[in-house]
């Protein structure tokens, strides 16, 4: 099987994630979509590592996972706090930046 | 030139006194005046020792120097802080410390009721030190330090009673007007450095023979500006009258005998500059001639005894400046008149102080009268000074003023005739206004209230007056005898050209005495033989009114300089407000404005940001893709 297929899959996953971030309102879902995009990127990194025959891509993939883990902690904390104070997990409600 | 390590003590003693009294503060209140007087007397003693040593030496070997330290050393330009004592500076040293010590003694009693007497003596010592530095400096830069020092001391002492706003204003006026002169001196130093590369007296003298006349004229004119400011000459004369706000001993020491004559010293010291710059020399004569009449005319109209004497000082310094502008023929007589004037004018100011002391600080002569009986010593000493200033032989002023009139007449051509007439006219006016002062104060019927109790001043005050009056009797003859003083100063000046005699000396003396007699006679008729009001008459001619307003000097200054200056200032404030501050505020407003405009683009919706990020990332990748393929 050609390694290209992994890249296609990665592109499809990334697109699904991106569309999800843009379209959905529930913060948890948006968050999951972001995770999906990160993992899509991981998949392509590992694939490239395989294509090139070096370990660089895999190393970067590990870094991405670490960052993703940290991001989950912080992001979920924010979401939970917002939910506690507003009784809503809709990201459109948290729009205090405008004016 | 020989060195002498004793010169520094001349300055160090009074400087130490000033610092000690200022730093010790109230602790020195009990004995401060004694220390200051001792320091001044010590400096006088050092001066006498120096004079006796100088007299022992040949004329060419008389000047001595002392290098204190290297002040400026940049490339080929070197200025040492060093002192020069020659035949000219020794005259000043003895005048400053001698008259200064007498005035210290006088002030002990005069200021005894003032709670700030110690501070007063500290300033007096500071003045003595600065004035000695002025006359002992061996370069224009050293002189400049002293020049500023006496300006400071003068400012502090005029405003000594600065709790009265008018007095504080007077001291500021003197300081600001003096700044104009100081600016002239600094310009002169800069021009000398730029064109000659040196600022020492000997260096400038060396270069004066082959430097361009334009450069010498520029230096000369700037030195004249300096002299005009410090010596209260026309057109910077307006500060002197108001300077009488200071305590009377200050008026006697600073604004009659010493500081105001610094301009004459500067011109005579710079004789080589003026000899090489005839235009500047002519300007000196013109300034002197105008001022001598200007001061004399103001003197005729003043009822305030100190202001009348101040106007007289201005006029007498006009004589000195005029003489110093007559070239080598006049230098010695300028200094001679300066010395005799130092005696009789200081004596008269102390006399005026004594009168004020006995009259509850009343200064209006129209409220005096008949004080001869109550203050006999003051009357006699003041009277001797009076005879000296109007030029009655054999008193001091006769010799010195007569010499100036004679030299002016012999200046040659129309110049000689004009200057001769001006000086003769000045002599007549001097006789008139001084006789008026004498009559109004001492010999006319009394015009004071019964709650005044005029009395003679204590011995500490009249002893200095007596000594000064002896000086005003004999100093003229001593200096004149056998042309002693002219020969004394001769080695310093370059004599050239032969003298023409327009009139024989005896005729000149006769003319001068006739003018004096006319002046005295008019004053006697007008004041002794007729009733005097104790308020100044209102119905007087326009000329009298102008003279009472100091010949409109303040009005002219106000219209020409103060009002336009204020207008410029307020215009500049407006420009500062609108342009400078406007620009600064504009930058802030621009940042705020652009900020609030850009804020409109912020919706606060996370998803719209995500879309924008996505589009941006896609565009970036597309751009990279386009570029790389």
Which one of B604, B611, B617 would you mutate to disrupt binding with A, by most A Cβ within 10 Å of its Cβ?
B604
Which one of B596, B597, B605 would you mutate to disrupt binding with A, by most A Cβ within 10 Å of its Cβ?
B605
pLDDT digits (tens, 9 = 90+) for B432-450: 999 999 998 888 888 888 8
pLDDT digits (tens, 9 = 90+) for A72-81: 999 999 999 9
Backbone angles phi, psi at B139, to 5 degrees: -140, 165
Mean of pLDDT values over B262-273? 92
> Between A and B, how many residue pairs show a Cβ–Cβ distance under 8 A?
33
**pLDDT at B345 (0 to 100):** 92
**pLDDT at B425 (0 to 100):** 92
pTM to 2 decimal places = 0.79
For residue A29, which residues of chain B lie inside 8 Å, CB to CB? none
Where does residue A24 rank: exposed (0-12), middle (13-18), buried (19+ CB within 10 A)?
middle
Whether B110 is covered by a domain: the verdict is no
Q: Structural domain tally of chain B? A: 2
Residue B535 pLDDT level (bands cut at 50, 70, 90): confident
Helix (H), strand (E) at residue B204: helix B201-207
Whether B38 is covered by a domain: the verdict is no
The answer to whether the CB atoms of A99 and B599 lie below 8 A apart is yes
Stretches where chain A sits below pLDDT 70 are 97-99
Alpha helices in B359-458 (DSSP H): 376-390, 396-409, 413-438
**pLDDT at A40 (0 to 100):** 95
Contact B64, B7 (CB under 8 A): yes
CA distance A66 to chain B (A): 22
Q: Which residue of A has its CA nearest to B615?
A: A18
Structure tokens at A74: 């912080």
Let me know the angle formed at the C-alpha of B414 by B411 and B415, rounded to the nearest 5 degrees. Answer: 45
Whether B93 is covered by a domain: the verdict is no
- What is the interface pTM, i.e. ipTM, of the complex? 0.84
Structure tokens at A94: 């948290």
Q: Is B325 helix (H, G, I), strand (E, B) or coil?
A: coil
Where does residue A60 rank: exposed (0-12), middle (13-18), buried (19+ CB within 10 A)?
middle
Quick one: B546 and B593 in the same domain? no
Can you give the length of chain A in residues? 99
Quick one: B328 and B435 in the same domain? yes
Whether B3 is covered by a domain: the verdict is no
Mean of pLDDT values over B332-353? 91
Residues of A with CB under 8 A from a CB of B: 18, 21-23, 25, 30, 91-92, 94-99
The answer to whether the CB atoms of B604 and A25 lie below 8 A apart is no
The answer to whether the CB atoms of B607 and A18 lie below 8 A apart is no
CA distance B628 to chain A (A): 19
Quick one: B368 and B407 in the same domain? yes
For residue B604, which residues of chain A lie inside 8 Å, CB to CB? 95-99
Quick one: B187 and B276 in the same domain? yes
Quick one: B552 and B573 in the same domain? no
Does B163 contact chain A (CB < 8 Å)?
Answer: no
Boundary (domain end) residue, out of B556, B586, B614: B556
Whether B44 is covered by a domain: the verdict is no
Boundary (domain end) residue, out of B556, B574, B589: B556
Whether B87 is covered by a domain: the verdict is no
Quick one: B552 and B594 in the same domain? no
Out of B603, B604, B614, name the one closest to residue A22 (CB): B614
pLDDT at B338 over 80: yes
**pLDDT at B97 (0 to 100):** 93
The residue with greater pLDDT, B339 or A99, is B339
Q: Is B569 helix (H, G, I), strand (E, B) or coil?
A: helix
**pLDDT at B498 (0 to 100):** 58
For residue A30, which residues of chain B lie inside 8 Å, CB to CB? 606-607
The answer to whether the CB atoms of B605 and A30 lie below 8 A apart is no
- C-alpha span between B513 and B338 (Å, rounded): 20
Out of A91, A96, A98, name the one closest to residue B607 (CB): A91
**pLDDT at B284 (0 to 100):** 93
Quick one: B580 and B524 in the same domain? no
- For chain B, positions 585-614, list CB contacts with chain A under 8 A: 599, 602-607, 610-611, 614
Residue B301 pLDDT level (bands cut at 50, 70, 90): confident
pLDDT at B539 over 80: no
Boundary (domain end) residue, out of B556, B590, B611: B556
Structure tokens at A86: 């507003």
**pLDDT at B315 (0 to 100):** 92
> What percentage of chain B exceeds 90 in pLDDT?
47
The answer to whether the CB atoms of A98 and B607 lie below 8 A apart is no
pLDDT digits (tens, 9 = 90+) for B92-132: 999 999 999 999 999 999 888 888 899 999 999 999 999 99
Q: Is B605 helix (H, G, I), strand (E, B) or coil?
A: coil
Mean of pLDDT values over B219-239? 91
Q: Which residue of A has its CA nearest to B608?
A: A22
**pLDDT at A98 (0 to 100):** 63
Let me know the angle formed at the C-alpha of B84 by B80 and B88, rounded to the nearest 5 degrees. Answer: 150
Whether B91 is covered by a domain: the verdict is no
The answer to whether the CB atoms of B607 and A97 lie below 8 A apart is no
CA distances from A71 to A10, A75, B403 (A): 21, 6, 106
Quick one: B519 and B588 in the same domain? no
Per CATH, the number for A1-84 is 1.10.287.3510
Residue B429 pLDDT level (bands cut at 50, 70, 90): very high
pLDDT digits (tens, 9 = 90+) for B482-505: 788 888 888 888 776 556 677 788
Q: Give the largest CA-CA distance in chain B.
A: 121
Tokens 């002192």 sit at which residue?
Answer: B83
The answer to whether the CB atoms of A95 and B603 lie below 8 A apart is yes
The answer to whether the CB atoms of B611 and A22 lie below 8 A apart is yes
Quick one: B526 and B569 in the same domain? no
Residue ranges of domains in chain A: 1-84
pLDDT at B266 over 90: yes
Structure tokens at B285: 């004569």
**pLDDT at A97 (0 to 100):** 66
Quick one: B573 and B488 in the same domain? no
**pLDDT at B312 (0 to 100):** 92
**pLDDT at B557 (0 to 100):** 84
CA B446 centroid distance within chain:
35
- B579: containing domain: 557-628
Determine which of A34-43, A87-96, B44-53, B213-222 has the lowest per-residue pLDDT on average: A87-96
**pLDDT at B496 (0 to 100):** 61
- C-alpha span between B166 and B173 (Å, rounded): 10
Q: Which residue of A has its CA nearest to B611?
A: A22
The answer to whether the CB atoms of B604 and A95 lie below 8 A apart is yes
């Amino acid at each position: 099987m050609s390694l290209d297929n992994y890249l296609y899959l990665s592109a499809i996953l990334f697109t699904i994630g991106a569309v999800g971030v843009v379209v959905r309102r529930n913060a948890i879902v948006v968050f999951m979509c972001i995770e999906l995009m990160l993992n899509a990127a991981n998949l392509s990194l590992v694939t490239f590592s395989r294509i090139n025959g070096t370990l660089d891509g895999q190393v970067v993939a590990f870094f991405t996972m670490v960052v993703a883990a940290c991001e989950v902690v912080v992001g979920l904390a924010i979401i939970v706090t917002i939910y506690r104070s507003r009784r809503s997990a809709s990201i459109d409600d948290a729009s205090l930046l405008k004016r | 030139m020989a060195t002498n390590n004793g010169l520094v003590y001349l300055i160090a003693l009074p400087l130490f006194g000033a610092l000690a009294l200022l730093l010790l503060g109230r602790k020195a209140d009990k004995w401060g005046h004694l220390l200051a007087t001792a320091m001044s007397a010590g400096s006088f003693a050092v001066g006498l020792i120096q004079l006796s040593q100088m007299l022992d030496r040949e004329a060419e070997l008389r000047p001595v120097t002392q290098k204190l330290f290297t002040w400026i050393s940049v490339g080929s330009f070197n200025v040492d802080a060093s002192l020069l004592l020659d035949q000219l500076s020794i005259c000043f040293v003895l005048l400053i410390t001698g008259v200064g010590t007498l005035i210290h003694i006088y002030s002990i009693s005069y200021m005894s009721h003032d709670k700030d007497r110690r501070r007063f003596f500290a300033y007096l010592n500071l003045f003595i030190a600065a004035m000695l530095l002025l006359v002992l400096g061996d370069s224009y830069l050293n002189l400049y330090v002293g020049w500023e020092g006496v300006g400071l001391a003068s400012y502090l002492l005029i405003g000594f009673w600065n709790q009265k706003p008018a007095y504080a204003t007077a001291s500021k006026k003197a300081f600001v007007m003096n700044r104009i002169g100081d600016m002239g001196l600094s310009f002169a130093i800069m021009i000398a450095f730029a064109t000659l590369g040196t600022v020492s007296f000997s260096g400038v003298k060396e270069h004066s023979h082959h430097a361009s006349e334009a450069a010498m004229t520029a230096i000369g004119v700037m030195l004249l500006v300096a002299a005009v400011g410090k010596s209260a000459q026309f057109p910077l004369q307006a500060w002197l009258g108001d300077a009488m706000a200071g305590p009377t001993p200050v008026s006697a020491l600073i604004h009659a005998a010493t500081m105001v004559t610094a301009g004459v010293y500067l011109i005579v010291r710079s004789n080589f500059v003026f000899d090489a710059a005839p235009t500047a020399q002519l300007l000196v004569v013109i300034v002197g001639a105008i001022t001598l009449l200007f001061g004399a005319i103001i003197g005729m109209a003043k009822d305030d005894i100190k202001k009348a004497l101040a106007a007289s000082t201005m006029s007498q310094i006009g004589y000195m400046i005029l003489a110093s502008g007559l070239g080598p023929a006049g230098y010695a007589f300028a200094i001679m008149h300066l010395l005799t004037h130092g005696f009789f004018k200081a004596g008269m100011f102390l006399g005026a102080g004594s009168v004020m002391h006995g009259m509850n600080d009343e200064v209006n002569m129209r409220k005096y009268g008949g004080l001869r009986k109550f203050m006999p010593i003051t009357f006699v000493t003041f009277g001797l000074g009076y005879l000296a200033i109007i030029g009655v032989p054999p008193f001091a002023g006769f010799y010195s003023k007569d010499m100036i009139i004679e030299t002016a007449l012999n200046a040659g051509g129309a110049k000689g005739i004009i200057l001769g007439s001006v000086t003769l006219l000045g002599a007549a006016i001097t006789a008139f206004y001084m006789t008026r002062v004498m009559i109004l104060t001492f010999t006319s019927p009394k015009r004071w209230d019964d709650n005044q109790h005029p009395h003679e001043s204590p011995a500490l005050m009249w002893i200095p007056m007596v000594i000064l009056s002896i000086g005003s009797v004999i100093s003229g003859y001593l200096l004149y005898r056998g042309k002693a003083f002219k020969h004394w100063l001769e080695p310093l000046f370059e004599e050239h050209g032969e003298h023409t005699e327009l009139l024989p000396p005896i005729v000149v003396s006769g003319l001068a005495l006739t003018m004096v007699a006319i002046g005295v006679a008019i004053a006697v008729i007008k004041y002794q033989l007729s009733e005097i009001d104790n308020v100044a008459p209102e119905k007087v001619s326009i000329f009298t009114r102008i003279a009472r307003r100091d010949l409109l000097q303040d009005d002219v200054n106000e219209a020409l300089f103060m009002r336009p200056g204020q207008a410029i200032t307020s215009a500049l404030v407006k420009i500062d407000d609108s342009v400078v501050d406007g620009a600064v505020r504009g930058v802030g407003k621009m940042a705020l404005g652009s900020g609030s405009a850009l804020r409109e683009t912020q919706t606060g919706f996370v998803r719209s940001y995500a879309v924008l990020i996505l589009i941006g990332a896609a565009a970036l990748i597309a751009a990279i893709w386009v570029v790389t393929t």
